[in-house]
Amino acid sequence: MRFDFTEEELNRYSRHILLQDVGVEGQEKIREGKVLVVGAGGLGAPVAMYLAAAGVGTIGIVDGDVVDLSNLQRQIIHTTPDVGKWKVESAKETIQAINPHVKVEAHREFLMADNALDLVGEYDFVVDGTDNFPVKFLINDACVMAGKPFSHGGILRFEGQTFTHVPGSACYRCMFKSPPPPGAVPTCSQAGVLGAIAGMLGTIQAAETLKWLTGVGELLTDKLLTFNAKTMDFRKIHVKKTDKCPICGPNPSITELIDYEQAVCDLKNHG
């Protein structure tokens, strides 16, 4: 294999290249990677920034929202002058400032049943950076249907949870069959979240993405990692792919994507 990194790139990525498990070959895999980040919010911000810094060749960002002042407490990809801008535009500017080598695809829309398969299909790996159950299930279903790996992430108050799915491993519906009824479980916009929790979980998702791209280490597949920052207890719960799963089982009852109803107060606040 021939690598054509410039002196500037070799210098920029030198701390990766020094890693025995990554090296120039791993850096090339990172550069060839196409990653879709759904939501430019609390989780999407650190994910997109670390993937940009790492040199992921193409980063897609899906978000149909604008930056609100209340986002800045945790959504560190946006700054005070960005309030009122489209999140995808603000995110793109930050990414390009971190690393001009990255190609950013700004998808100024929300992920829905009618665009999810097309969007997911353009990328190698998907990161769930949303804060509402309907879209989390949509990402799961679209990725399972399209055979794409993804990183799930959820945060609330002082807690976070994440797992990684690759084709053949447990999916979100193997663990949780369907979304809770609208309003049954609060979201960050209703119950609050400590800003740094978004950073803690988002960087785990970014690390999983880079591990998947380079093939280094063991992914969080068939394991749900949870943490509580009040005690700093981290737990890994083993989860199993189940034949009863309505989407990834042998007899799936879900054969098309679903736009679940969302609690009205969540509609404006993704992440």
How long, in residues, is the chain?
271
CB of 138 to Zn ion, least distance (A): 14
- Give the nearer residue to Zn ion in terms of CB position, either 30 or 174: 174
Buried b (16+ CB within 10 A) or exposed e, 19-31: eeebeeebbbbbb
Binding mask 232-261 for Zn ion (x = CB under 5 A): -------------x--x-------------
Question: Which one of 78, 136, 173, 270 is in contact with Zn ion (CB under 5 A)?
Answer: 173
What's the one-letter identity of residue 129?
G
* Residue 174 binds to Zn ion (criterion: CB under 5 A): yes
The alpha-helical segments, DSSP class H, found in 73-171 are: 87-98, 116-121, 133-146
SS3 219: coil
* Residue 77 binds to Zn ion (criterion: CB under 5 A): no
* Residue 198 binds to Zn ion (criterion: CB under 5 A): no
Measure the CA–CA gap between 158 and 152, rounded to whole angstroms: 17
- Give the nearer residue to Zn ion in terms of CB position, either 152 or 173: 173
Q: How far is CA 80 from the centre of its chain?
A: 24
* Residue 145 binds to Zn ion (criterion: CB under 5 A): no
* Residue 171 binds to Zn ion (criterion: CB under 5 A): yes
Of 256, 245, 254, the C-alpha closest to 169 is 245
- Give the nearer residue to Zn ion in terms of CB position, either 171 or 193: 171
Question: Which residues of the chain form contacts with Zn ion (CB under 5 A)?
Answer: 171, 173-174, 245, 248
